[in-house]
Every structure is written in C-alpha cells, then in structure tokens.
Chain A
Amino acid sequence: GQQVMQIPQYQHVQEGEDFTTYCNSSTTLSNIQWYKQRPGGHPVFLIQLVKSGEVKKQKRLTFQFGEAKKNSSLHITATQTTDVGTYFCAGGNNDMRFGAGTRLTVKP
C-alpha cells in the first residue's frame, strides 16, 4: 500500500523556538491530513489539505501541501508547552496511511 514517510522522528525544542515536521510520499496524494496526539491521548484531526501548493494557517500552525502533492509540512511558530505531543501526517483516499509521527517535546 501507499507509504507516507515523516521526519524527524523526534524534536526537542526550547519554548519559543520554531518547529517543523515534514511528510513525503512516493506517489501523488489526493489529500493530506494532519493529526496531533497528546501523551496518553488519541489522535485529533487538525486539518486537511487538498489542493496543490495549498497553505493553511491555524494560529501559530502553518500547513503546506507541495506543488506535486507528494509532500507536506507543518510548521509551529514560537512553540509553547501546550504544543507537546506527536504530530502525524496521513495520506490516502478512503484509507489514510499514517506517517511514523514526530514526537515534539518543549522545554520551558
């Protein structure tokens, strides 16, 4: 099945620093979704990107979908301790395949 690769696996930042996680697919994606999972919690849907080159923002979070619809990124500006968790990208049609996730820790 379709594979979605995500890097980095871990990211440790000082509060106030920026954070970016990247997602890549070998095939064109019809859409890409981003999820956040807090420690001990379940994945929570953040956003869906559908169009080539699409950029969406949610407060300090910026999501991008590549022109070729094969890659995506999530950028967090000025991280806060509440941003701690694992961020997953997922791509597919009616069977979203999840990347391995990027575990973000934030030092106060």
Chain B
Amino acid sequence: DTAVSQTPKYLVTQMGNDKSIKCEQNLGHDTMYWYKQDSKKFLKIMFSYNNKELIINETVPNRFSPKSPDKAHLNLHINSLELGDSAVYFCASSPDGYYGYTFGSGTRLTVV
C-alpha cells in the first residue's frame, strides 16, 4: 500500500501538448508538494499546498497549474509543454510542513 503514489511513472509527449500528473497520499498528511528534479539532480520546489490551500508558488511558468481537490490529492497540469520541461517530477507530503517529507516514486517527463 504505497504511501505517496504518482501516476504516470513515465510520460513521453510532444512539444505543445497538455499533460497532467496525479498524486495521492494515504498518510493523512496536511501538506503536499511538487518538486522538479533536473538532469543534474537538483531538487527545486514548485508548489506547496496545506489542506487544499496553495501556500507556496515558486517562480514557475503559469503553464504549470496545480490542483488540490482534497488534502489527499495534489495534481499537476502542464499546458503547452516545452523541451525544457523534461525532468523528473516528485510529489511529496508532510504531516505539517515541518517534519520529514515522504516522496512519491516520481514521474519522468520527456518532451520531444
């Protein structure tokens, strides 16, 4: 029973397409995140939600839109995909935004 599950695991798509990544956590955590990991392994926070409310929105292009229908789910929709969006996207959750994060297994997005 996976604690933080992301789908899909792999996503290959053409430039200009729109795609979504889904994330669900069954830990009862209040806070959820999206991180982007580039080819150099650098982990950059994109968004943070606390109990369905947006807390952090880093300088991410507005082509990226998170949605949290409830505190157990945080989805990421990306419009007009670009080559530079290719990366691994990780969803994570934390009980309160303070204690250790539990990461999902990641979604490897490749834009061609």
Contacts and interface: CB of A to CB of B under 8 A. Distances in A.
Given A42-B106, A48-B99, A95 B42 contact: no
Interface residues of A, number: 25
A94 B50 contact: yes
A103 interface: yes
Candidate in A37, A47, A86 with the most chain B CB atoms within 10 angstroms? A37
A1 B58 contact: yes
A95 B90 contact: no
25 contacts: A1-B58, A30-B98, A41-B105, A42-B90, A42-B103, A42-B106, A43-B43, A43-B90, A45-B100, A45-B101, A47-B100, A48-B99, A48-B100, A93-B98, A94-B98, A95-B48, A96-B101, A97-B45, A98-B35, A98-B43, A98-B44, A100-B40, A100-B42, A101-B42, A103-B41
